[in-house]
Amino acid sequence: MLAVILAIVCASAIGVVMKLAESRGVDRFHLLWANYVMATGASAALWAAGDQPLRLAPLTVGLAVAGGLVFAGDFLLMFMAVKLRGMALPVILLRLSSVVTIGVSIAVFGEDPGMFQVVGILAAFGAAVILSAAVKGGAVQREGGRSLAWLVVSSLVLLWCFGMADLSLKLFERLGQPKEKPLFLTTLFFTALVVFTLIALARRVPLRRTSVLWGLALGVPNMLVSFFVVTALAQLPSYVVLPLVSAGTVVLVSFIATLAFKEKVGGWGLVGLALTLAAIVAMNL
């Protein structure tokens, strides 16, 4: 159970680091570049530590490159969303985004959903709609002026984009070879690193030590959350670990956002949070 608690803390820390970095005016591209330096180095070390193949099948390379582009885009969207919508909503949508993978698995791979999964999918979309209007933070809370339609549509777009990252891993799980996973992840993270390296070079903004340090601070919990989830899965069933980590992260992030960053949740927000927790549990049954 300690591994589950540490996974919740690390998953929540990702949003906290992004919020703190944004409030200090850290260059987002350099921050994300440093984050992927950490992720690439860690995954490469894991690959080198094992007896793993040096070559990847062409399909695996394609999946890794596509996944890297998706991961890079998602992290950039996450940073921008934290600035615009506050910390709580983007992190909650990130935890709900497994609905995309489940939906595609049903539609494309012919997986047969149970009654609880169907309820979870419907609850996830309902929670996203309610929270998009009820949870206020960032520029939206300070400036207002956004229509209800904009709030809902932008949240659903975020939900879909975040879900594409999990979907890229699902595609590898279905189409790739398990022995290729360490090198697959290294290639994926390296692709994202290349993207932010090219952006940083094109912008010609001097690299500041502060941005690098914040990026490395982001990379540490980003890497550790996967480590602790894997550790927890070796001790407990997945139907216990995954909903606990997701639900625990939603609760902790909402608490931190409300208490430390003065983001507003409100009555409907609490309804949305309850629906979120129900959706997470149902989708993992």
Structure confidence by residue, pLDDT tens digits, 222-250: 878 877 886 787 787 776 787 888 888 88
Handedness of CA 215, 68, 109, 179 (dihedral sign): negative
Q: Is the pLDDT of residue 129 over 80?
A: yes
Question: What DSSP letter does each residue of 123-160 carry, written as one string?
Answer: HHHHHHHHHHHH-B-HHHHHH----HHHHHHHHHHHHH
Residue linked to tokens 């993978």: 101
pLDDT digits (tens, 9 = 90+) for 149-201: 888 888 888 899 988 888 888 888 788 887 888 888 889 989 999 999 998 88
Contacts of 269 (CB under 8 A, 6+ apart): 130, 131, 134, 135
Helix (H), strand (E) at residue 27: none
Handedness of CA 99, 100, 103, 109 (dihedral sign): negative
Torsion of CA 265, 261, 200, 47, to 10 degrees: -80
Question: How does the average pLDDT of the chain come out, rounded?
Answer: 84
Which pLDDT value is given to residue 65? 94
**Do 207 and 32 meet the contact criterion of CB atoms below 8 Å apart?**
no
Number of domains in the chain: 1
Which pLDDT value is given to residue 136? 80
Which pLDDT value is given to residue 53? 64
Measured between alpha carbons, how far is residue 160 from residues 70, 102, 112, 165, 274 in Å? 11, 12, 21, 9, 21
Which pLDDT value is given to residue 9? 93
pLDDT digits (tens, 9 = 90+) for 109-126: 777 777 888 888 888 888
Percent of residues, the chain, with pLDDT higher than 70: 96
Please state, in angstroms and rounded to a whole number, the distance separating the CA atoms of residues 184 and 63: 8
Residue linked to tokens 């680091």: 17
- Identify how many contiguous H helices and E strands the chain contains and give both numbers: 12, 0
Which pLDDT value is given to residue 207? 81
Average pLDDT over residues 251-257: 88
Tokens of residue 153, six digits? 């549509």
Q: Is the pLDDT of residue 52 over 70?
A: no
Measured between alpha carbons, how far is residue 103 from residues 112, 276, 281, 284 in Å? 10, 17, 16, 13
Please state, in angstroms and rounded to a whole number, the distance separating the CA atoms of residues 99 and 197: 31
Q: Give the type of residue at 108.
A: V
Its domain, for residue 121, covers: 2-283
Which pLDDT value is given to residue 69? 95
